[in-house]
Amino acid sequence: MATEIIMPKVDMVMDTGTFVEWLKKEGEYVEKGEPLFVVLTDKANIEIEAPASGILAGLRAKPNDVIPVTEVIGYILEPGETLPGAAPGPEPERVVPPSPVSAADKAAPRMEPAAVSEKVRATPAARRLAAELGIDLRLVSRGHGPRGRIQRADVEALATQAAVRPSAPVIAVAPTPVTTVSGITPPASVRLPDARQKDVVMLSGPRKIIAERMAYSAATAPHIALSLRVDMSEASRLRTYVQDHFQRKTGQRVSFTAIIARAVAAVLPRHPYLNASLDGDRIILWEDIHLGIATSLEDYLVVPVIRQAQNKNLEQIVTELADLIERARTRRLTPAEMSGSTFTITNLGMFGVEWFTAIINPPETAILAVGQIMDTPVGREGNVVLRPMMQMTLSADHRVIDGARAAHFLTEVKQTLENPYLLI
Amino acid sequence: MSEADVRELTYLEAIREALTQEMRHDPNVFLLGEDIGVYGGAFGVTRGMLEEFGPERVRDTPISEAAIAGAATGAALMGMRPVMEIMFMDFITIAMNQLVNQAAKIRFMFGGKASIPMVIRTPAGSGTGAAAQHCQSLEAWFINVPGIKVVAPATPYDAKGLLITAIRDNNPVLFMEHKLLYRTKGPVPEELYSIPLGQAVVRREGRDATVLTYSVMVPRALEAAEQLSREGIELEVVDLRSLKPLDQATIVASVSKTGRVLIVHEAPRTGGFGGELAAVIAESEAFDYLDAPIRRLAGRDVPIPYNRALERAAVPQVEDIVAAARALAREGK
């Protein structure tokens, strides 16, 4: 009987796969378990093995085709068999199946992709983490360990993609594909007849994850934005005051982002709904403050996480943040270090942005967008004076947080930054 | 006391100092063994001690390991604290009956009314070109005998502190010295101090894999860790120091932290202590943290060859540890 070759679901958030290439040709004999074709997922190019032994026929996927998972892209026929729905034809004569002996020699115990019923080979650490996160290990088609064994890193990678938090109860956020959010139907295809194309870049890897998660957040969480300006005179003074000492001790400069992170970590424990996640009909209030700090790389954005920021002093935050950012830029962060945040800060001040609103990083309930510090005329005791002002904009999920609640938090952050000496 | 105040002694000198200080401290402590008096010991450990303590307390014996062990057991039974020396660990086979059937059992056979406070000091291990009958590491045999404790220090500091504890222990303690460590130097305080048995020490912290080891393999593992650190792989090196009693808590904590473990010892792999360590880990709560199979790197299952190149190839060297640990740390990453 003909075996269907389908686009496999090789990770949890995958709805379509981008076909890269066939590794065998139409009419060629393929052994079960041999690499058959390559698919591009969010993470990497993945070789998919032949689900059966036989002759390849009806291969219809072409490079760069975006194909829904489970769609049939070809067949493996037994000798003498014809394509389903095709007229019987002569068997290609040149194809001689290898002898059973050599087939047995080659039959290494390999995991097949999408063969969910097979026994999972995974390390105890991978099983433990998967159990904690509520991840079905059968969704990992093939681990990176020897002979496809699933290891901890594979589960972490899956967790990151699915935005499942490693250190806390699971919230399975299922990002909806960009093209089908909330029943909004995009145009059938992008056609601009009088525009010349420069290039076509595939939406893949981290870019695709960001696209899906931001679309999911924007479509599901009704955002409210509140903005205010903070007088950064004292925070600047504090920074100047501790700069030399910190630099001597830690080798790191004190960034405003670190000071703001410290202030947010100090204030958040009194505002649990801003350090929370909406999970169905439950709002989970997190005890730990895992602060995500949005960090731009050349081609995309990552959010390294300062864990338990509520317990860390300014010096620790400065040191940890510098380390995380350095390793983010050199691509050495582990998936665990880039996931599981409970609140995010994004600072575009260094790019000269005065203010902006940010999209909430799901499954969080709020995000703080920070603009540039600018000398600005303000009224003080009846006089107009120049002060270093910084505009902060809080985006909050209105399902969980009302305006007044958001305002209380934002105001308290402002007050803390304007009287920052208790933060050291 | 600052570091600058601590003297450096060799491993051999540290052992001699422990013996000397304990003998000054406790008149019941005495030494017996082949060529330990006039000659000062095959490796010179007891050199000068006959002059200080006289032939009653530093006793040259006939060439009979069975007699040495029997005499030591009897003396211990009568309240002395003998420290017997077996010139090469290989020769301990001849003393086996006295040690295994008598010394290890008497306290239990007499319902605790008698005890055998004795130490069996013996140089073990290969690396000196002394061939198959002078190079063995036979710890696994003794670890399997209830009633005997087994200690294998890796540094001069530990050699002194653990030997003092072994002498003061009321049970037979097999004290394994390593020939290649005798000339290694390290800080050793002058005063009497003791290190409890059953306490491992983390010699180097790391996140990527744990190396569990002891004796001469500790400095080799540390050298391997240093090399791998330059590749960005951070090994955690645990020096067990005392094999029985075994510090399971430190092992479990380290393996739980790194999720990967390489066990390294010089003794042959099959039936070696590494198998026991692997079982301890697999049975413990560390199991759920394992992210790769437990690996052993041990001596080959061959008698130690006389040929120096083959002798080297028969037991783990730094480069072997580097290769094994690198492969382990990278598995699945």
For the cut 80, the answer to whether the pLDDT of residue A89 exceeds it is no
Are B292 and A151 a contacting pair, CB within 8 Å? Answer: yes
pLDDT at B143 > cutoff 80:
yes
Average pLDDT over residues A394-418: 96
- What pTM does this model have? 0.54
User: Which comes out higher in pLDDT, residue A141 or A242?
Assistant: A242
Task: Provide the residue type at B118 as one letter.
Answer: M
Q: Is A19 exposed, middle or buried (0-12, 13-18, 19+ CB in 10 A)?
A: buried
Closest C-alpha among A168, A205, A183, A149 to residue A11: A205
| pLDDT for residue A191 is more than 50 | yes
Q: Do the beta carbons of residue B143 and residue B244 sit within 8 Å?
A: yes
pLDDT at A328 > cutoff 90:
no
Q: Do B291 and A126 touch (CB under 8 A)?
A: yes
Write out the DSSP string of A250-296: HS----HHHHHHHHHHHHGGG-GGGSEEEETTEEEEPSS--EEE-EE
Using CA coordinates, name the residue in chain B closest to A145.
B332
Cβ distance A153 to B332 less than 8 Å, yes or no, reads yes
What are the pLDDT digits (tens) for A368-401? 999 999 999 999 999 999 999 999 999 999 999 9
A402 is catalytic: yes
Residue A346: C-alpha distances to residues A270, A295, A398, B207, B306 (Å): 21, 8, 19, 30, 68
Peptide bond preceding A79 in cis form (omega within 30 of 0): no
How many angstroms from the chain centroid is the CA of residue A363? 12
As a whole number of angstroms, the distance between CA A259 and CA B11 comes to 52
A106 phi-psi bin (left φ>0, alpha ψ -120 to 50, beta other):
alpha
Q: Which residues of B touch A124 (CB under 8 A)?
A: 287-291
3-state secondary structure of A80: coil
Nearest to B288 among A125, A144, A145 (CB): A125
Residues 6+ apart with CB under 8 A from A163: A171, A173, A175, A213, A339, A362, A363
* Peptide bond connecting B172 to the previous residue in cis, omega within 30 degrees of 0: no
Chain B contact for A132 (CB, 8 A cutoff): no
Distance to chain B for A152, nearest Cα, Å: 6
Q: ∠A307-A309-A313 over CA atoms, to 5°?
A: 130
State the nearest Cα–Cα gap between B205 and chain A, in angstroms: 19
CB neighbour list of residue B129: distance below 8 Å, 6 or more residues apart: B306, B308, B311
Residue A337 gets the label, from left (phi > 0), alpha (psi -120 to 50) or beta, of: alpha
Bridge pairing between strands B173-178 and B149-151 = parallel
Per the CB < 8 Å rule, is A146 touching B290? no
Structure confidence at residue A44 (pLDDT): 66
Å between A217 CA and nearest CA of chain B: 31
Is the CB of A151 less than 8 angstroms away from the CB of B332?
yes
At B293, is the pLDDT very low, low, confident or very high (cuts 50, 70, 90)? very high
List the domains of chain A with CATH numbers: 3-106 (2.40.50.100), 124-161 (4.10.320.10), 213-423 (3.30.559.10)
> Hey, are the CB atoms on B331 and A124 less than 8 Å from each other?
no
Angle, CA of A275, A276 and A280, to the nearest 5°:
170
Q: Which one of the listed residues A223, A288, A323, A398 is annotated catalytic?
A: A398
ipTM associated with this complex: 0.75
What pLDDT is attached to residue B4? 57
User: Where is pLDDT greater, at A62 or A403?
Assistant: A403
Give all strands (DSSP E) within A16-163, no chain letters: 16-22, 29-30, 35-40, 45-49, 54-57, 66-68, 72-77
In contact, A308 and A418? CB cutoff 8 Å = no
Residues of A within 8 A of B331 (CB-CB) are: 145-146, 151
pLDDT of residue B244: 98
All structural domains of chain B = 3-187 (3.40.50.970), 201-330 (3.40.50.920)
Whether B291 sits inside 8 A of A144 (CB atoms) is no
Residues of B in contact with A153 (CB under 8 A): 332-333
Which structure tokens are listed for B3? 């570091």
pLDDT for A280 equals 84
Distance from CA of B257 to the nearest CA of A (A): 11
C-beta atoms surrounding B48 within 10 Å: 12
Residue A86 has pLDDT above 60, yes or no: no
- Kindly determine whether residue A125 and residue B259, on different chains, have CB atoms separated by under 8 Å: yes
pLDDT of residue A178: 42
The pLDDT of residue A332 is above 60: yes
Among the partner residues B290, B331, B332, nearest to A124 by beta-carbon distance = B290
What the block records as the tokens of A403 is 């305006």
Smallest CA-to-CA distance from B270 within B249, B232, B300 is with B300
Instruction: For A127, name the nearest residue in chain B, comparing CA atoms only.
Output: B288
What tens digit of pLDDT does each residue of B166-222 get? 999 999 999 999 999 999 999 999 999 999 999 999 999 999 999 999 999 999 999
Q: Is pLDDT at A271 greater than 70 in this prediction?
A: yes
Chosen from A43, A121, A123, A327 to mutate, greatest number of chain B CBs within 10 A: A123
Q: Is A110 an interface residue toward B (CB < 8 Å)?
A: no
- Percent pLDDT > 90 in chain A is 39
Partner residue opposite A145 with nearest CB, options B259, B287, B331: B331
Q: What is the pLDDT of residue B108?
A: 96
Query: What sign does the CA torsion over B69, B75, B78, B82 have?
Result: negative
So what's the pLDDT on residue A173?
A: 39
Grouping H, G, I as helix, E, B as strand and the rest as coil, residue B100 is: helix
- For the beta carbon of residue B290, count every other beta carbon within 10 angstroms: 23
Write the CA distances from A198 to A195, A201, A300, B97, integer angstroms: 9, 10, 20, 88
> Mean pLDDT, to the nearest integer, of A22-49?
83
Q: Which of A124, A127, A144 sits opposite B332 (nearest CB)?
A: A144
Cβ distance B331 to A146 less than 8 Å, yes or no, reads yes
**Mutation to test the B interface, candidates A121, A147, A151, A333, most B Cβ within 10 Å:** A151
- CB atoms B332 and A143 under 8 Å: yes
Those residues with Cβ within 8 angstroms of residue A88's Cβ, 6 or more apart along the chain or in another chain = A82
Q: Is A142 on the interface with B (CB under 8 A)?
A: no
Nearest residue of chain A to residue B257 (CA atoms): A125
| Count of C-beta atoms within a 10 Å radius of residue A338 | 19
**How distant is the alpha carbon of residue B9 from its chain centre?**
18
Whether residue B133 has pLDDT greater than 50:
yes
- How large is the average pLDDT for residues B228-239? 97
pLDDT of residue B242 exceeding 50: yes
Q: CB-based contact (8 Å) between A330 and chain B?
A: no
Q: How many CA atoms lie within 13 A of B324 on its CB side?
A: 24
Q: What are phi and psi of A281, to 5 degrees?
A: -100, 20
